Amino acid sequence: MAIDAKYETLKLQLDDGQVLQVTLDRPQVGNAINTRMGQELLALWRGLTEDAQGVRCVVLTGAGGKIFCAGGDLKERNGMTRAQWTHQHEIFERVTFAMTDLPLPLIAAVNGHAFGGGLEIALCCDFIHASRTARFGLPEVTLGIMPGMGGTQNLPRAVGERRARELLLTGRPFTAQEALEWGLVNQLADGDALLAGALDTARTIARNAPLSVRQIKRSVRYGGQMDLHSAYRFEIEAYNQLVDTEDRREGVAAFNAKRAPVFHGR
């Protein structure tokens, strides 16, 4: 099972059985993504999609406190053949798809610098909390490659197409304050308050009706790819799936009884 497996590059911690903290755990190399980390991330996201095991929200962060993720492990990549590089990147691509398709809310707690694939991983999350001292960037153009884990698609959707073009084509880094002002980051925090705040937000989400949370996430994601009229219709279909659920009845009953609802995802 996803949260019971043994990982070499990830550290998992379960909070109250409902919030899963996932830590990229290669601090000695800036939590750079090597092949093994790619394989383990893919297994984790796929496993949670198939069976969430009671998890209702996930927080993703990095070990060490200074670097969230430095991107792809260029030391491992040095000297790779085309076939080896392509094989590894296929794993990374599947990680991107699995994160994007994850039905659970996924919060990035960017507790240090996020460059290249590190920023792309954060962009695949539903939203981002970041350290005030964090720096961001997609420098692939300076290395003879380009973002290949959703960066050219997710960055424009976060900060706007014109600003994204400048950042992608220059490869220049930018600050956490700029990321906040541009809409890439939801909020900033100092030190330990960052992870504490992200976990608190995750607990708030976890207390809400799980089926409602999943349908909202689906509606935002897929509706955003449609024309507005079709998106309205998609939202209504998602809404109607919740009408005959135990959680909907519990929510209304709890409101009228003036008590906190207890949702079971049914």
The SS3 call for residue 160 is coil
To the query of whether residue 90 is one of the catalytic residues in this protein, the response is no
Q: How many residues does the chain have?
A: 266
Q: What local confidence, expressed as pLDDT, does residue 56 receive?
A: 96
Asked if pLDDT for residue 192 goes beyond 60, the answer is yes
CA atoms within 13 A on the CB side of 23: 17
Say which of 8, 40, 50, 140 is annotated catalytic.
140
Which pLDDT tens digit goes with each residue over 56-105? 999 999 999 899 999 988 888 888 899 998 999 999 999 999 999 999 99
- The torsion region of residue 22 among left (phi > 0), alpha (psi -120 to 50) and beta comes to beta
Q: Annotated catalytic, 93? A: no
Residue 1 has pLDDT above 80, yes or no: no
Q: List domains and CATH numbers for the chain.
A: 10-207 (3.90.226.10), 210-257 (1.10.12.10)
pLDDT grade for 258, boundaries at 50, 70 and 90: very high
d(CA 92, CA 241): 33
Residue 47: per-residue pLDDT: 96
Catalytic residue among 40, 90, 120, 237: 120
Nearest residue to 7 (alpha-carbon basis) of 86, 19, 34? 34
18-44 confidence digits (pLDDT tens): 999 999 999 999 999 999 999 999 999
- The structure tokens listed for 101 are 């398709």
Q: What is the pLDDT of residues 106-153, one digit of tens each?
A: 999 999 999 999 999 999 999 999 999 999 999 999 999 999 999 999
Tokens coding 222: 């897929």
Distance set, CA 106 to CA 135, 184, 252 (Å) = 21, 15, 27
Q: Edge-to-edge strands of the sheet including 174-175? A: 67-69, 113-115, 135-137, 174-175
